[in-house]
Structures are given as C-alpha cells and as structure tokens.
Structure 1
Amino acid sequence: MRVLVVTDAWRPQVNGVVRTIEHLAEEAPAFGAEIVLLTPDRFRTLPMPTYSEIRLALARTSVVAGMIAAAEADHVHVATEGPLGLAARRACLRAGLGFTTSYHTRFPEYLRRRFPVPERWTYAWLRRFHNAGAGTMVATESLRRDLEARGFLRLMPWTRGVDSERFRPIAGADEFGLPRPIFLSVGRIAAEKNLEAFLKLDLPGSKVVVGDGPARAELAAAFPDAHFAGTLEGERLARAYASADVFVFPSLTDTFGIVILEALASGLPVAAFPVTGPRDILEGTGAGALDQDLRAASLAALAIPKDRARSVALSHGWGEAARMFVENVRSVLARTPPKRAT
C-alpha cells in the first residue's frame, strides 16, 4: 500500500507534526505501507505572518493535483490545514479521490492569542475542512471527545510515540552546570505555549528553556534568571533532558505533547496542567503531577521516582503509532476502494 502524506509542516521546522511524519515514514513499511511525502520544499514559500520561521507554500491546486497523480498512491492523507493541505484537499475533491486528514494543532486557540478572531469561526472552518474527508485522525481520547462535541465526524485514533533509545537516563549528565533542582521546558517559544506560566513560578534551583521561536527575546528579557539554551537536537537534546530533575509542560492548547514522552523516556517526571495531552498521557500513571497550580505540580513532581517516568514512556513506541495510522487507512480503503488521480 502506497500512501501520499501532504504536509505544510516540514524541515527545517522543529515540532511535533514534523517528528510524527518522520517517524511514520520510518515505521510504516513494517506494516506493509510505503509513505511518500508532498512537502513545501517543492514550492516557492513565504514567511507566515507573525511567525517568520514557518514558511508557507505557494501551491496552486492544479499543480498539486498533478503531483498527486504522479505519486500513484493508493491513498492521500492531508496532514495539515495550511496552503498545501488546502490545495491537496481541493484537488482530491475535484478528482473524486477519498482522503483522510489529521488534527494536530488547535488553530482556533492559537489564532485567538494573536488576533481578535472568535474561536467558533475558526472551528466552523476547520469542521468543514476535515469533515470533507473519509476520516480525521486524532492523537488522544480527550481531543476526540472535544472535537466530536464540536461536530467533527469520523474521528479515528492515531497516537504518538517516543524513541526510547535516544531519549534515556544518562548517568552524570550535567548539560547546563546550573544549581539544582533543574526544571526544564522544551518546545517552540511562542505565545500559545504559555511559557510565561512556567517562567514566573517561584521554584528552587534553576529554570531552563530549550527551543526557539518568536517570543524568545521578549521572554528572555522579562525573565533574566531563566536559562534559554536555544534549539538542541540529537544527543545534545537527549543530554539536556537527562540533565534535568523535572519537566514542566505549561501549554494549555497542545493536542498531545511529544516532548512529554521524550521527558518521561529520559527519566523525568512531568508537571503540567490537567488538560488534553498531559491528562491523556499521565493520568493514573504516577509518572507526573497534574494540577491547576503549576508550582504545586512542579514541586510534587520532584518526589516522583525517575524509573517510574521511564517505565511509562516505554509503552509508547513509534511502531504502535505507525500501526494505528496504517490500520486507519486500510479501514477507509475497505469501505471505498482506491481511485488514483489521472
């Protein structure tokens, strides 16, 4: 089975969508599926307003339709709702091709943080976008319930995973050389990540932020006692996790939070608000502390054994995530045999 995945999120972006698709392409062949990609690097791009690090593809529907036909795929999966995803959706509808989508990002909440746009307007647009497909893949049960209540149809589970060989406890790791305990946050530094809720906490030891984004300069100036390490990758990122004592995840709007699994795999207990993502991963595991008081959660997480955190992560492999994706596609094809674009 050959599946074309169309995504606006791609390298050099560093985020959960890119990591998910990278791992899907690596793991899917074990389940009888080949993943081919249609990404913005095949088009001219422009910087996204208010977030220049993200480049938006100038993708005409006719051109994308030709690329879909050339891929000779059995199925098309539209992973994102950006310009490339929109063009692919239109091309599939015009050609009568079945397709699936995935819901990675809470755009209504993100957009509201930047502009005075009512969430209900954006949700109405997203509902129309996704309901045109044969199914929408979602990462967590709480997200499924939320979207179902908002009128989204044909929701399908597609979890996330972690590379537990790369992200692991490393004895003696001390990437930062800062006073302990070290409270760490990793991710995009942008308004929607709610990092200020972490940085303003009165905590012992040190606060470290790994990542980059449009809000970095402002937050670094406002919180000079915090250490901003910039973007780290590979072994340096693994050592950064292993050098900390608690992982703090302040986001209120993520649909999952792959960084939570990376932290757990590194032996870090997690402190977070009890919202979609953290709740689905951590509730009932004893590997994290969920509390509306993020300071209380952070201090409580200090008492959690690191081996407990690691054991929870080991049950979340990327192979299982790929299996779920492939089974979702097969279930759609069983209902509607594939029709290839011409």
Structure 2
Amino acid sequence: MSEQSKPGPTSADIAIVSETFPPEVNGVANTLRHLCQGLMSRGHRVSVIRPAQSTDCGSPLPGSNRLWAIEHTVRGLPLPGYPELQFGLARAATLRKLWEQQRPDVIYVATQGPLGIAAVSAARQLGIPVSSGFHTNFHSYSRHYRAGFIERLLRAYGRWFHNRTDVTLVPTRQMAGVVTAMGIHPVNVWSRGVDCQRFAPHKRDPELRSQWGLQQDAPAVLYVGRLASEKNLQLAVSCFERIHALHPQARFVLVGNGPLREKLAREHPDYIFCGIQRGESLARHYASGDIFLFPSKTDTFGNVVTEALASGLAVVAFDDAAAAEHLRHEENGMKASLDDDETFVEHALTLVQQHTLQCRIRHQARLDALDLDWPSRIEQFEQLTLTLKTRTRHHAISQGIPLI
C-alpha cells in the first residue's frame, strides 16, 4: 500500500451500511462504489455492512485492500418490486456487538430499510455519530405501483428514520428544500461526481451503431436506467414515437432491465433492448447515442444524467434532480418544467431537427462534465464526516462522557 493511502492524523474509521452495493447496478450502488474507493484512497479505514448477494465470492471491495476495507454481510430477502435487490435483516444487538469489537468513528447509513433501522438504533445506543443518505424517493414511487394511499405513511416513516440520525445528506440544493419541507433536519448537501475517463465521447462505436440499424447520421435516442413505471417511461415512448414519425431512420435504444421490458418489447418490436451494461460496454453504449431522454420525475439525483453529459450526449430532462443542478437550458442540455410533458417532447424534437444546436450542446455537455470530478465530492463527504466526528467528541468531553 502506498504511503499516501495509509491512515493519517485526520483519518477515520467509517462504517457504511446499505441494502444495495456493487456489483448491483443502480445509482446508490454506483455512488457507494466511488465513495468507498475514494475514502480509502484518502487514508480512511472503511467497513461495509450489506445484505448477502448471489454474486458473493468472498472478494473484497472492488479495487480495495482487505486491510482497509472490511465487509460484513447479513441475511437478505428480495425487495418487493425489485426482486434483483435484497433488503437486509439484522438485529440492532448484532450490529452493536460488532461495533463494540470494532468501533467506527462515524457511521453512514445509505438506505432506510430494516438494516438501516438496526444500524441507526445500534449507533444511538453506542453514542456513535451517524449520518443518513436520502438516495431514493420511495414515497413518490408508491403512486406508480397503485399504492398511492401509503405515500403519507412512507413520508412519515422517512421523517422518523432520518430524524433519528445526526444529519441527512442529499445530492442537490433542490432536494435539500424538499427534504426540509418533509420535516427532516438537519440537512446537508453532498453532491455527486462522474467518471469522465470512463464516460467519454471518444468511445463512440460505429460498429455498435451499425448493430442498432442506424444509417449514416440517423439519430440514436438513448435511455439508460431501470425499465419501470416510476421512471415515467411512457413519456419517453411517446417522445420517441413523435421523433420517429418525422425521422423514420431514428432508433430508440434502451439500456437496462426491469418489469416493463417484456411489455415494451411486445408493443414495440422495433426498439433495441440492450439489457444491463457495465463498465466499458456501458461507456460505449452511452457514447454511441446522440440524444438522451431522462423522463423521470421521482429521482433524487439520476447519475445517468451526468454520465450522459460526460459522454457528450444532448440530454432532455425535467428541471429536477441532477438536471436542475447541472443543466443550463439550450447551453449544455434541454430542460422542461416538471408539469410540462409536451415541452419535454418539443425539446427532443428540436434537438433532432436542429443539428447545429445539438452539436453545440453536446460539446458543452462534455466540457461541463469535466468539472464534476469524484475526488472533490469525496473530499466534501470527508469534511462532513470529520466535522460530525469532531462535534460528537467535543460534546462527549463537555458532558464528561468517557471516550472509548
């Protein structure tokens, strides 16, 4: 291990608790992969508590050393509506015993399932500072699964869960306002980065575009993400059908999987379904597209937006989440108001019809993405964590509480 990656005087033992973790494919898992690797590169000792996965083979965290990254798995059960994911089953007493033996300085709970509840309870019992992440709008998802009647209950649950932690971290300033309005406090913004070495325009693949059936400069309209109701995919479909009516050579390429795939494939046999892509293959799929549709109105961030920017795509999105934070209309992307589906479609049509505008936006998208580096985001998380650690220590000393 290099000298710079050894723990220093400001290093910390950080426990990360999550119901989802790499190699699972979703925004939370992707964020945690960068977080763990970034913290370890800055000399922090990281331990992870997560549900067991079918892919487990006893290997350490990707790109890590076992000396600084320790994984503890708990029993998991399939998450309703997301059978490929597990929610963790653990008792607070079990985690308390673990942390009594290997006491972390700070705990970060990324998800608010049963495992998260147990972790927060154990942390409070031991007096260990604990932060939580607001990664997913589960209360908003309920209406897409004919369970809108429980949205108020889920909001109340989220408020109870997050208010038991010392601080809740959100990815954008806009989301900070939303979460504060829910009655959750205190709230801090921890933004997200993007890997601009992996996601880059030069990875455009003419052979892949040929496989998609694209002729010459015909537009490839791309969607990357879960094929599920909460992603507002029906709008993406309507949008592409309008494009296709004017440009019959256009192709709609969907990267990802989910419960709507079978239905979409049956109703639209001309669509190109690429399934889940990872690593360099995912980067090639991004770079080989032209216009990127992000119709979701429920995401707290949407890492795919910044990945599309880094890949040099013209993004069409609503003025929400990552798009609200990073898109400037008609400069590096196109934005529509959350309640204006028709304008969303019109923006996509404009990009197809005005090639000069599309090229200018795609060029600027890449330039702006270069400023969204992960190291600065890891440093931001680090400062929030060390501040929480120091504040808790000072409080303990002032109260005469013994430091373990």
Q: TM-score if structure 2 supplies the norm length?
A: 0.80
Higher relative contact order (CA 8 A, sep 6+): 1
Match of 1:117 in 2: 149
Q: Matches of 1:169 and 1:17 in 2, distance apart?
A: 25
State which of 273, 276, 287 in structure 1 corresponds to 2:318. 273
- SS at the partner of 2:292? strand
Q: How much has 1:80 moved relative to structure 2? A: 0.6
One of 24, 29, 36 as aligned partner of 1:25:
36
Q: Which digits, 9 at most, give the CA deviation of each residue in 1:18-45, with x for residues without a partner? A: 0111101111245443322111121222
Q: Read off the aligned partner of 2:311 and give its amino acid letter.
A: S
- Whether the 8 Å CA contact 2:105–2:128 is kept in 1: the answer is no
What's the counterpart of residue 325 of structure 1?
Answer: 381
| Unmatched 5+ stretches in structure 1 | none
Whether the 8 Å contact between 1:282 and 1:288 is mirrored in structure 2 is yes
Shift of 1:246: 0.9
Which segment drifts farther, 131-140 or 215-224? 215-224
What displacement does 1:341 show? 10
Map of 2:68 onto structure 1: none
Task: Tell me, yes or no, if structure 1 residue 92 matches structure 2 residue 117.
Answer: no
Cα distance in 2 for residues equivalent to 1:60 and 1:172? 48
Establish whether residue 250 from structure 1 lines up as the match of residue 282 from structure 2.
no
Matched, 1:297 2:337: no
- Helix, strand or coil: the match of 1:43? strand
The aligned amino acid for 1:168 is: A
**SS class of match (2:84):** strand
8 Å contact kept, 1:157–1:324 = no
Map 1:139-288; keep pairs closer than 5 Å: 139-170=171-202, 173-174=205-206, 175-177=208-210, 178-179=213-214, 180-201=218-239, 202-203=242-243, 204=247, 205-283=250-328, 286-288=331-333
Larger radius of gyration: 2
Matching residue within 75, 78, 81 for 2:109: 78
- Between the aligned partners of 1:171 and 1:155, the Cα distance in structure 2 is 38
1:97-149 deviation line (CA, Å, top 9, x unaligned): 32110100001011232223342221111011001111000000100011112
* RMSD (Å) for aligned C-alpha atoms: 2.0
Give me the whole-angstrom Cα distance separating, in 2, the residues matched to 1:83 and 1:169: 41
Distance, in Å, in 2 between the alignment partners of 1:281 and 1:125 is 30
Are 2:20 and 1:14 equivalent residues in the alignment?
no
Q: After superposing the two structures, state which structure 1 stretch, 26-35 or 69-78, moved more.
A: 26-35
Q: Secondary structure at the match of 2:297?
A: coil
Q: Which runs of 5+ in 2 are unaligned?
A: 1-11, 53-72, 397-401
Name the aligned partner's letter for residue 167 of structure 1: F
Over 3 Å counting, the alpha-carbon distance change for 1:230 and 1:109 in structure 2 is same
Q: How far off its partner does 1:245 sit?
A: 0.6
Partners of 1:118 and 1:112 in 2: how far apart?
8
How far has the Cα of 1:66 moved from its partner?
2.2
Please state how far the C-alpha of 1:190 moved relative to its aligned partner.
1.5
- Given that 1:4 and 1:71 are in contact with CA atoms closer than 8 Å, whether structure 2 keeps it comes out as no
The percent identity for this pair of structures is 35
Using the alignment, how far apart are the partners of 1:209 and 1:69 within structure 2?
47
Tell me the equivalent position of 1:137.
169
CA distance in 2, matches of 1:88, 1:172: 43
Change (3 A) 1:313 1:268: same
Question: Structure 1 residues 30, 46: closer, same or farther in 2, change over 3 A?
Answer: closer
* C-alpha distance in 2 between matches for 1:190 and 1:176: 25
CA distance in 2, matches of 1:163, 1:309: 14
Output the TM-score relative to the length of structure 1.
0.94
- Matched length: 342
SS at structure 1 position matched to 2:25: coil
Provide the C-alpha distance between the structure 2 equivalents of 1:165 and 1:26, rounded to a whole number of angstroms.
Answer: 16
Compared CA separation, residues 172 and 334, structure 1 to 2 (3 A): closer
Which moved further from structure 2: 258-267 or 31-40? 31-40
* Cα distance in 2 for residues equivalent to 1:341 and 1:245: 56
Contact preservation (8 Å) 1:270, 1:301: no
From the superposition, tell whether residues 12 and 171 of structure 1 become closer, same or farther in structure 2 (CA, over 3 Å): closer
Match for residue 78 of structure 2?
47
C-alpha distance in structure 1 between counterparts of 2:98 and 2:330, whole Å: 45
SS for the counterpart of 1:337 is: helix
